[in-house]
Amino acid sequence: MVIITPTIRIFDRKLLVKDRTILTNVTDNVITTSGTASSPSEGVFLGAEFDQNNNRHAVPLGKLQDVLLFSCFRFKLWVDRSENGKQRK
């Protein structure tokens, strides 16, 4: 019998990627969901479950473990000015 384990998983409060520990102290409400329903996937959605409905939740995902982190954000800032009356052009 062959047992296929997911490439990315949470086990023993650790986030493992190809059996390498990426995060430690992962809380119990943090979950991973596969991107595909039919077979194990190379990627997952990392999320959290909560008992109460709220439009803002904050949850610690865990602590980075021996990982160099590089992040690059690209964003656009949109400014909406409300102009009324004769001043509007």
pLDDT digits (tens, 9 = 90+) for 59-84: 888 888 777 766 665 655 555 555 55
Rounded Cα–Cα distance for residues 17 and 42 (Å): 9
Cross-sheet strand order for the sheet of 20-24: 8-11, 14-17, 20-24, 63-64
Q: Is the whole model's pTM more than 0.75, yes or no?
A: no
Q: Tell me the domain boundaries of the chain.
A: 8-87
pLDDT of 75 reads 59
**E strand intervals along the chain:** 8-11, 14-17, 20-24, 30-34, 44-48, 63-64
The residue that leads in pLDDT, 27 or 40, is: 27
Q: What are 42's two structure tokens? A: 């190379």
Instruction: Give the residue carrying structure tokens 């943090």.
Output: 30
Residues whose CB is less than 8 angstroms from the CB of residue 33 and which lie 6 or more positions away in sequence, other chains included: 44, 45, 47
